[in-house]
């Protein structure tokens, strides 16, 4: 009995009122979900329509929901940290808890918020923009989503079972060596990211093939919308960067589980090798999340300025240049680690060169707006706010890339302020703009403008109030990851102001939640499919939400911004339904295997976290059984009959004619 | 799944081999080439790690002391030959000769098993004389690099076996042809990776 108690007290995280509150909240929310689903008899619906789906639009929506939930979790971590740092010598969080929170904040925001968010917009917009029926590999797409989902679940589980990782989101050895960090927290970190990382690589492959091979006839690469270009460039970066992370994490896991000596301090290990491998992925990762945001800005700016985007060819070129140079700069993350002047100079110059194509893009967006009839919708507001924010962040980036200055700025709050400036100003603003922009396409209604404007201003003002003091704090000597400071350091007032800004951003997020809930009922419905009235690309040519086969007839593309020119010529896709003969549409069947396979990955990961090898290997066997069954499956697709297409099109008012069995 | 019709966009249908004859076939094959690019990066990282750590022996056994020419020559010959017999299998598939295709596939599988068997006995031998992956950074990197390749080959054996059963059950059709072709590319890829392991690990190890 006492051994059971001993086990339970180590297995479950104990000792903090906040953890117990979280336990209660988790149990209550889970019970609430189970009760609601049972009460409304929605279990079957959930399984058939969502869990087993291979439809890119539904997968996109599931990514979005998860990303917003993770945004909430990561944001709560940020608020806890800012609360602890608001005043000197606070005892709100103890040092261990503070370490865990900054670790989970960084990891979640990059890997479990930004990544699913970009994959969400990939899935929602790309096949529709290029006139495709689905992505190239719909089944693999579902596998990717569920691997991400279970990876994220595994990571979040560490909060209440076993203990969270506490060595920073970069998890450098030797700090993460087994001897210095024995708990299961680091194992959670390594396994959760590995599992979701497999899904990310698969998504990268999927979208490269989709974009290269599944464009509508007539859409040459230079007629392709810029968002799809940005997805192509980001996907290229994904497939070449993520394997390095896989290796870095796997080798560190071997060190921890099997006693190897890759990164240990003894037996010839080299911790620096981990740092190199990690940033070989880590720096490109920054561009993986920002390139799709660049694509969103290009779409939004053109749409709401009612102009063709300025300098299309230079936009494409700069996307591709960024996608290459970003591999050549990774060592600027550790200028102070003694690589020598030659190496540092090379990486400094490479880092600064990236500012050139990025600058080209900024000017192109400005020139697109110049003399345009700008409409200040929510996506446009976030896009306009992005430009100064990112320009400031980029400039401080050049300051950090200057090696002698970096010796001073490294690991200070100056650096914290810089990367939040570019990651929030670049990626988060872009993803929120994209969410607003494509929301009607996903759900068939717009989000309330007034509430959105409140959220916008709270978030914007909060952002500058939060991070600008941190630049100054950096110069005053405040380093990152300190859990408290004394009053005579002179940092009190700036820290207090910064915390107020953080809370304003949190309030802004709440406004977005309220906005979503309010708009489900009262949001302006989209009946035409072209919700904003200014759509330029093909996704606006079909109804909202799109039918599950997307296009009843595949459009022939003649121009860049095809839909805009269709409107100018007075054409529409609905006319194709009158003139063209319908053909049965080839579609992939739903499958439970992606979910099951990822569940086995989760079980396996959980086993390895606690070094319960039987469970770990049993899970892996489950994974292989699923793969084997899929390989033997002969019935993975079907045809939608013509009558069903006619019926669906008729329900959107796009087909008037004989429908059998109506 | 896309607008492009099942007949293909590359002109005359008869010019295309069976595995390329459907859109699914073309997409999957391209997707698999891109997957191999990611796998290549994965191995590149392991090679980089090995090269950095190859002299970090911490007083333990070095490559020169461990590697035996006969062992890795047998492995090399088995694997390179299996790549050739794998090609003969695909060649038979193109000629629509099922029994010959199945036959060469079985030979390929057996050669793969010989390779993995030799590698396992090599690893067991090293471990028995105290050269385990826990001994030094060099050995950690060695076992991980060579072992990752070995795991790939083992996975390839199970995969090829699965496709072999499908060819036997369903014959040569557009699906089985596509799957056999893709596992063939995978097998050749592993062969190329082995050539680098042969050079960077074994040859360099024996000479230094």
Q: What does the pLDDT read at residue B13?
A: 52
Instruction: Mutate one of A194, A209, A633 to test the B interface: name it (highest B CB count within 10 A).
Output: A209
Half-sphere exposure of B167 (CA within 13 A, CB side): 28
Please list every residue in chain A whose beta carbon sits closer than 8 Å to the beta carbon of residue B165.
Answer: 632
A170–chain B nearest CA distance, Å: 18
For B58, the token pair is: 């911490």
Partner-chain contact A632 B41, CB within 8 Å: no
Rounded-to-10 torsion of CA A422, A427, A429, A434: 160
| CA–CA dist A111, A22 (Å, integer) | 22
Q: pTM value?
A: 0.95
Question: Closest by alpha carbon to A140, among A189, A209, A192, A193?
Answer: A209
Place of tokens 């089985």: B176
Question: Closest by alpha carbon to B174, among B44, B23, B1?
Answer: B23
Nearest CA in chain A to B5: A586
Looking at the DSSP bridge assignments, the partners of residue A412 are: A479
Is residue A257 packed enough to be buried (19+ CB in 10 Å), middle (13-18) or exposed (0-12)? middle
Please list every residue in chain A whose beta carbon sits closer than 8 Å to the beta carbon of residue B163.
Answer: 631
The number of angstroms, rounded, from the C-alpha of B10 to the middle of its chain's C-alpha atoms is 30
Question: Closest by alpha carbon to A213, among B15, B182, B35, B31?
Answer: B31
The number of angstroms, rounded, from the C-alpha of A98 to the middle of its chain's C-alpha atoms is 25
- pLDDT of residue B10 exceeding 70, the answer is no
For B137-172, what is each residue's pLDDT tens digit? 999 999 999 999 999 999 999 999 999 999 999 999
- Asked whether the beta carbons of A135 and A123 are under 8 A apart, the reply is yes
Q: How many CB atoms lie within 10 A of CB A18?
A: 11
R_g over Cα of chain A: 25
**Sign of CA pseudo-dihedral B73, B76, B82, B85:** negative
Collapse the DSSP code of A412 into the 3-class scheme (helix H, G, I; strand E, B; otherwise coil) and give the result.
Answer: strand
Q: How many CB atoms lie within 10 A of CB A256?
A: 23
For A292, the token pair is: 């799709």
| CA–CA dist B44, B53 (Å, integer) | 14
| CA–CA dist A141, A205 (Å, integer) | 10
Q: What does the pLDDT read at residue B52?
A: 95
Q: What does the pLDDT read at residue B12?
A: 47
A246 touches chain B (CB under 8 A): yes
Q: How many CB atoms lie within 10 A of CB A520?
A: 11
For A367, the token pair is: 């020139």
| CA–CA dist A582, A406 (Å, integer) | 63
- Closest Cβ opposite residue B144 in set A242, A251, A634: A251
The number of angstroms, rounded, from the C-alpha of A3 to the middle of its chain's C-alpha atoms is 42
Question: Closest by alpha carbon to A529, among A496, A567, A481, A491?
Answer: A567
Q: What does the pLDDT read at residue B6?
A: 43
Partner-chain contact A247 B137, CB within 8 Å: no
Please list every residue in chain B whose beta carbon sits closer than 8 Å to the beta carbon of residue A268.
Answer: 53, 56-58, 136-138
Please list every residue in chain A whose beta carbon sits closer than 8 Å to the beta carbon of residue B144.
Answer: 251, 254, 260, 262
Looking at the DSSP bridge assignments, the partners of residue A588 are: A637
Q: What DSSP line would sit under A107-140, residue for residue?
A: HIIIIIIIHHHHHHHHHHHHHHHTT-SS-S-HHH
| Stretch 569-608 of chain A: residues touching chain B, C-beta under 8 Å | 586-588
Q: How many CB atoms lie within 10 A of CB A29?
A: 10
- Closest Cβ opposite residue B27 in set A136, A277, A628: A136
Partner-chain contact B45 A244, CB within 8 Å: yes
Question: Closest by alpha carbon to B135, among B43, B185, B63?
Answer: B63
Nearest CA in chain B to A132: B2
Per-10-residue mean pLDDT, chain A, length 662: 78 81 87 91 93 96 97 96 96 93 96 97 96 95 97 94 93 93 93 97 97 96 96 97 97 96 94 96 96 97 95 96 94 91 94 94 96 95 96 94 92 96 96 97 95 97 97 96 94 97 97 96 92 94 93 92 92 87 93 96 96 96 95 89 91 80 50
Partner-chain contact A246 B134, CB within 8 Å: no
For A438, the token pair is: 């494509």
For A626, the token pair is: 């699923």
- pLDDT of residue B4 exceeding 90, the answer is no
Question: Closest by alpha carbon to A619, among A633, A634, A607?
Answer: A607
Collapse the DSSP code of A637 into the 3-class scheme (helix H, G, I; strand E, B; otherwise coil) and give the result.
Answer: strand
- Asked whether the beta carbons of A107 and A189 are under 8 A apart, the reply is yes
Please list every residue in chain A whose beta carbon sits closer than 8 Å to the beta carbon of residue B162.
Answer: 628, 631-632
Collapse the DSSP code of A586 into the 3-class scheme (helix H, G, I; strand E, B; otherwise coil) and give the result.
Answer: strand
Partner-chain contact B58 A261, CB within 8 Å: yes
* Ramachandran region, residue A259 (left: φ > 0; alpha: ψ -120 to 50; beta: rest): left
Instruction: Mutate one of A194, A232, A262 to test the B interface: name it (highest B CB count within 10 A).
Output: A262
Is residue A161 packed enough to be buried (19+ CB in 10 Å), middle (13-18) or exposed (0-12)? middle
Partner-chain contact B144 A254, CB within 8 Å: yes
Q: What does the pLDDT read at residue A51?
A: 96
Q: Which residues contact A310 (CB under 8 A, 6 or more apart)?
A: A364, A365, A367, A368, A370
Q: What does the pLDDT read at residue A594?
A: 96
For A337-396, what is each residue's pLDDT tens digit? 888 899 999 999 999 999 999 999 999 999 999 999 999 999 999 999 999 999 999 999
Give me the interface pTM, i.e. the ipTM: 0.94
**Sign of CA pseudo-dihedral A314, A319, A324, A327:** positive
Rounded-to-10 torsion of CA A372, A376, A380, A386: 100
Confidence class for position B8, pLDDT limits 50, 70, 90:
very low
Percentage of residues in chain A having pLDDT higher than 70: 99
Q: Which residues contact A263 (CB under 8 A, 6 or more apart)?
A: A173, A174, A177, A251, A252, A255, A269, A270, A271, A273, A274
**Sign of CA pseudo-dihedral A14, A15, A17, A19:** negative
- pLDDT of residue B11 exceeding 70, the answer is no
Partner-chain contact A247 B1, CB within 8 Å: no
Q: Quick one: three-class SS letters along chain B?
A: CCCCCCCCCCCCHHHCCHHHCCHHHHHHHHHHHHHHHHHHHHHHHHHHHHHHHCCCCCCCCCHHHHCCHHHHHHHHHHHHHHHHHHHHHHHHHHCCCHHHHHHHHHHHHHHHHHHHHHHHHHHHHHHHCCCCCCCCHHHHHHHHHHHHHHHHHHHHHHHHHHHHHHHHHHCCCHHHHHHHHHHHHHHHHHHHHHHHHHHHHHHHHHHC
To 5 degrees, how large is the angle CA A234–CA A320–CA A540? 60
Q: What does the pLDDT read at residue B1?
A: 39
Partner-chain contact B38 A133, CB within 8 Å: no
Q: Which residues contact A532 (CB under 8 A, 6 or more apart)?
A: A303, A304, A377, A437, A440, A540
Looking at the DSSP bridge assignments, the partners of residue A445 are: A525
- Asked whether the beta carbons of B42 and A247 are under 8 A apart, the reply is yes
A616–chain B nearest CA distance, Å: 17
Question: Closest by alpha carbon to B98, among B177, B13, B17, B183?
Answer: B177
């Amino acid at each position: 009995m006492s051994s059971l108690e001993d086990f339970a007290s180590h297995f479950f995280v104990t000792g903090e009122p906040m953890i117990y509150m979280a336990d209660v909240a988790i149990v209550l929310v889970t019970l609430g979900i189970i009760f609601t689903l049972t009460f409304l008899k929605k279990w079957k619906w959930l399984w058939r329509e969502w869990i087993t789906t291979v439809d890119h639009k539904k997968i996109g929506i599931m990514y979005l929901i998860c990303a917003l939930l993770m945004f909430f979790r990561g944001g709560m971590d940020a608020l806890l940290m800012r609360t602890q740092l608001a005043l000197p010598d606070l005892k709100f969080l103890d040092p261990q808890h503070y370490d865990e929170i900054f670790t989970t904040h960084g990891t979640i925001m990059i890997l479990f918020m930004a990544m699913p968010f970009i994959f969400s917009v990939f899935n929602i917009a790309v096949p529709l923009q290029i006139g495709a029926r689905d992505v190239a590999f719909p089944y693999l797409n579902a596998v990717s989503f569920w691997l991400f989902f279970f990876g994220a679940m595994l990571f979040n589980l560490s909060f209440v079972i076993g203990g969270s990782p506490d060595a920073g989101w970069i998890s450098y050895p030797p700090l993460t060596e087994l001897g210095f960090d024995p708990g299961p927290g680091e194992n959670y970190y390594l396994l959760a990211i590995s599992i979701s990382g497999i899904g990310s690589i698969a998504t990268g492959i999927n979208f490269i093939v989709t974009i290269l091979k599944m464009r509508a006839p007539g859409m040459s690469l230079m007629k392709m919308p810029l968002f799809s270009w940005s997805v192509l460039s980001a996907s290229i970066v994904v497939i070449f960067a993520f394997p390095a992370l896989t290796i870095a994490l796997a080798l560190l896991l071997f060190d921890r589980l099997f006693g190897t000596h890759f990164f240990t301090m003894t037996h010839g290990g080299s911790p620096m090798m981990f740092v190199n491998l990690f940033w070989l992925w880590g720096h490109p990762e920054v561009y993986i999340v920002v390139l799709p945001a660049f694509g969103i800005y290009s779409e939004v700016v053109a749409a709401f300025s009612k102009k063709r985007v300025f300098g299309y060819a230079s936009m494409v070129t700069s996307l591709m240049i960024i996608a290459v140079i970003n591999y050549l700069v990774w060592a600027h993350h550790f200028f102070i680690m003694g690589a020598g002047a030659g190496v540092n100079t090379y990486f400094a110059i490479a880092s600064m060169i990236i500012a050139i194509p990025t600058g080209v893009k900024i000017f192109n967006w400005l020139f697109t707006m110049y003399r345009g009839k700008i409409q200040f919708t929510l996506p446009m507001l976030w896009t306009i706010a992005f430009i100064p924010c990112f320009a400031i962040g980029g400039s401080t980036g050049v300051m950090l890339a200057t090696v002698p200055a970096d010796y001073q700025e490294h690991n200070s709050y100056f650096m914290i302020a810089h990367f939040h400036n570019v990651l929030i100003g670049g990626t988060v603003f872009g993803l929120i703009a994209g969410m607003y922009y494509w929301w009607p396409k996903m759900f068939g209604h717009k989000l309330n403008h007034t509430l959105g404007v409140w959220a916008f201003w709270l978030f914007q003002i909060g952002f500058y109030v939060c991070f600008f003091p941190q630049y100054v704090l950096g110069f005053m000597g405040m380093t990152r990851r300190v859990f408290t400071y004394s009053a005579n350091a002179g940092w009190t007032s700036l820290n207090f102001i910064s915390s107020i800004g953080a809370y304003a951003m949190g309030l802004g997020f709440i406004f977005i939640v309220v906005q979503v809930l309010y708009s489900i009922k009262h949001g302006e419905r989209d009946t035409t499919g072209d919700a904003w009235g200014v759509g330029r690309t093909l996704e606006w040519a079909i109804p909202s939400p799109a039918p599950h086969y997307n296009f009843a007839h595949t459009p022939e593309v003649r121009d860049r911004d095809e839909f805009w020119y269709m409107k100018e010529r007075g054409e529409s896709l609905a006319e194709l339904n009158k003139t063209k003969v319908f053909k049965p549409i080839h579609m992939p069947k739903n499958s439970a295997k992606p979910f099951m396979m990822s569940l086995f990955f989760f079980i396996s990961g959980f086993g390895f976290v606690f070094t319960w090898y039987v469970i770990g290997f049993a899970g892996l066997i489950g994974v292989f059984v699923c793969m084997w069954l899929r390989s033997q499956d002969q019935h993975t697709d079907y045809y939608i009959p013509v009558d069903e297409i006619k019926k669906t099109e008729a329900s959107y008012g796009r087909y008037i004619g004989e429908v059998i069995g109506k | 799944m896309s607008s492009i019709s099942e007949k293909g966009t590359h002109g005359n249908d008869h010019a295309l081999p069976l595995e390329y004859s459907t859109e699914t076939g073309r997409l999957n094959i391209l997707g698999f080439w891109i997957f191999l690019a990611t796998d290549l990066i994965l191995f590149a990282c392991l090679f980089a790690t090995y090269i950095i750590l190859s002299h970090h022996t911490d007083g333990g056994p070095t490559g020169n002391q461990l590697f035996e020419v006969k062992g890795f020559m047998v492995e090399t010959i088995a694997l390179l030959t299996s790549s050739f017999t794998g090609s003969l299998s695909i060649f038979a598939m193109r000629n629509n000769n099922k029994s010959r295709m199945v036959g060469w596939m079985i030979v390929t599988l057996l050669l793969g098993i010989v390779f993995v068997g030799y590698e396992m006995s090599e690893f067991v031998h090293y471990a028995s004389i105290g050269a385990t992956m826990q001994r030094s950074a060099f050995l950690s990197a060695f076992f991980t690099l060579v072992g990752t390749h070995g795991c790939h080959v083992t996975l390839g054996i199970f995969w090829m076996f699965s496709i072999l059963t499908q060819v036997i059950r369903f014959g040569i059709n557009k699906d089985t042809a596509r799957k056999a072709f893709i596992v063939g590319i995978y097998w050749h890829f592993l062969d190329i990776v082995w050539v680098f392991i042969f050079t960077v690990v074994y040859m360099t190890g024996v000479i230094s």
